[in-house]
Amino acid sequence: MRGADLLAQTLANLGVDRIFSLSGNQIMPVYDACIDAGIKLVHVRQEAAAVHMADAWGRLTGQPGVALVTAGPGFANSLTGLYVARVSESPVVLLSGHAPLPQLGRGAFQEMEQAEMASHVSKASWTAKNALSLGDDVANAFDIALSGRPGPVHIALPADAINGEVDDLEGVLLQVKRKPLATMELAAVDLQEVVQLLSSADRPLILAGSMMLRGDPADAIKKFGNVTGIPVVFMESPRGINDPALGAFAEVLASADLILLMGKKLDFTLQLGEAIDPEASIVQIDPDEDVLKSTVRNVNDSARLTTFKADPLSVLGPLTDVATEIEISEAEWLDEVSSAVSHQPESWLNMRAIPGEPLCSYEVTQAVQEYLDGADESIFISDGGEFGQWAQACITSSTRIINGPAGSIGTAIPFAMAARLARPNARIVTMLGDGTFGFHAMELDTAVRYGLDFVAVVGNDSAWNAEYQIQLREYGEDRTIETELLSSRYDQVAVALGAHGEYVTNADDLPQVLDRAGSSGLPACINVVINRDAAPVVRRGVESSGTSATLH
């Protein structure tokens, strides 16, 4: 048997039943080995899409999504997806083909320092040494991807390793062992210190990062908030405190006298700490030493900072058990935070297009919300950009996936495909702009081939609108340049690829179009002609609309 067989069987033993991939010369042995291992391949049209699918799979299932790409240029195409997963704290294992080890430095085909390149956008990255190491390599990658702050891991697979001989496959497989996931807990004295700090505050606020957003972590931190009465705010948008989905959050953040960061970095999303009251105390519980050191640098005031190196999820249970000792002085604080975060300007209700004019982004979101509300289980997916910000600000569902702190665009369609595989019975809507559609439009072909149905709502304003708004705001209308797009019929592109397509110019048509698209049994593209609305900015006491400027 080959190293490729050891690799594939190890993946199967770890519970992997599908791999997201794009084929190439260097990984054909792995494709062949997946047949006997019973692993299905989802064959995409561009490598980044494979990693985006693995990312969404990791976010939805809590288990690493596995992507497989070829060497050289194929691997290079995957780096964007790896970065998005890294910043979104999503467990992913990326396997890449690689030139044979004996040929390195001699001008090998597609020779590239892949492990070194991926190390900058992953938790760990290495090159497999030989055929016999592949089982342990994969098991270690899974352990690293899931431990501490979740994230992607990359293994380069030299051709001589995956083609190398493994004499006793069953025997080698028996020796492949998973390590117990390492957890860092707080000592009783540290738990008491956290309780005392929280009890001493009048207006404490818990900020949770991406690693706490999904599944058990989200439930655990919500429970802690409910027990203590301390408001919990989840942060995952690249717009940070200006995330329109968080309403007027920036106002109450500035009023908090203690911030507890649970798996949340004190980074650009909090303006490197400048968005916090300079007199407020900051407590951080995080498994990453580098993150804690960065917080120390950003705060630069040891008197108001207390940090603990620990796994926030492991800490939450014991911390909740002793949380009855916490008494918040200002009982109305929870209501104040809740009111601020849920705030939406009344002016939005009046955002309706004049008949014959492009639709307003807000009215599109309201039709989508009504459609999602009609299902017991729904998944809302949003890309970035101005249209994506309206979607994120206005739409809720039982499960939400957005582009994440990386601020990337292009993930919407791959995310939706992975969501269909992970949640076969959910109603899935993914929302993206017309610029974004161009990144992975061909993945509609992938969705058709694998029978992955979902509804993609494309806000078509014939522009790279986020950049257009920056130019408009910073330089003036007479100095906008190279942000125009054609008013293309993306719905017809979808139909040409075998998907369902709809074209919408009237808001009243949206409900029946959404129903028709959703019941088509096909991946569906609804091409909606919209106004060039700036992303919403929410400030209480200040009217906000789609024509106002926004921070990026």
CATH number of the domain where residue 212 is located: 3.40.50.1220
Burial class from Cβ neighbours inside 10 Å (0-12, 13-18, 19+) for residue 98 reads buried
d(CA 253, CA 250) in angstroms, rounded, equals 5
Of the residues 341, 373, 393, the one at which a domain ends: 341
For 120-155, letters b (16+ CB in 10 Å) and e give: ebbbbbbbbeebbbbbbbbbbbbbbbbbbbbbbbbb
pLDDT in tens, 218-272: 999 999 999 899 999 999 999 999 999 999 999 999 999 999 999 999 999 999 9
Using 50, 70 and 90 to split pLDDT, how confident is the model at 104?
confident
Determine the number of helices (DSSP H) and then strands (DSSP E) in the chain.
23, 17
Residue 247 sits in the same domain as residue 317: yes
**Is 524 strand, coil or helix?**
strand
pLDDT at 549 over 50: no
For 268-354, list the strands marked E by DSSP.
281-286, 305-309
Domain match, 162 and 218 both = no
**Full residue range of the structural domain in which residue 74 is found:** 3-175
Q: Which residues contact 495 (CB under 8 A, 6 or more apart)?
A: 501
Alpha-carbon separation of residue 484 from 20, 96, 440, 465, 472 (angstroms):
34, 37, 19, 8, 13
What pLDDT band is residue 288 in, cutting at 50, 70 and 90? very high
Q: Which of 175, 209, 239 is the last residue of a domain?
A: 175
Mean pLDDT, range 320-343, rounded to an integer = 85
What's the pLDDT at 533?
94
pTM recorded for the entire structure: 0.95
Q: How many CB atoms lie within 10 A of CB 238?
A: 18
| Residue 328 resides in a domain | yes
In a domain, 38, yes or no: yes
Q: What is the CATH number of the domain that holds 500?
A: 3.40.50.970
Q: Indicate whether 530 pLDDT > 50.
A: yes
550, pLDDT greater than 60: no
Question: pLDDT tens digit string along 419-469?
Answer: 999 999 999 999 999 999 999 999 999 999 999 999 999 999 999 999 999
User: 87: alpha, beta or left, given left = phi > 0 and alpha = psi -120 to 50?
Assistant: alpha
Domain annotation covers residue 538: no
Q: How many CB atoms lie within 10 A of CB 101?
A: 16
In this structure, are residues 139 and 128 in contact, taking their beta carbons and an 8 Å threshold?
no
Tally of domains within the chain: 3
pLDDT score, position 215:
84
CA dist., res. 362 & res. 367, Å (int): 9
Assess if residue 164 is contained within a domain: yes
Q: Looking at residue 238, what is its pLDDT?
A: 92
**64, 91 contact by CB (below 8 A):** yes
- 129 versus 540: the higher-pLDDT residue is 129
Domain termination site, one of 341, 356, 379: 341
> For the chain, how far is it from start to end, CA to CA, in angstroms?
53
Do 123 and 144 fall within a single domain?
A: yes
446-464 burial: b if 16+ Cβ within 10 Å, else e: bbbebebbbbbbbbbbbbb
Is the confidence at residue 543, as pLDDT, over 60?
no
pLDDT, position 30: 98
Task: Name the band, by pLDDT with cuts 50, 70 and 90, for residue 71.
Answer: very high
Give yes or no: residues 525 and 508 share one domain.
yes
Per-residue pLDDT averaged across 527-532, rounded?
97
Compute the distance between CA of residue 125 and CA of residue 116 in angstroms, rounded to an integer.
7
Residue type, 281: S
Tokens of 252: 């109450």
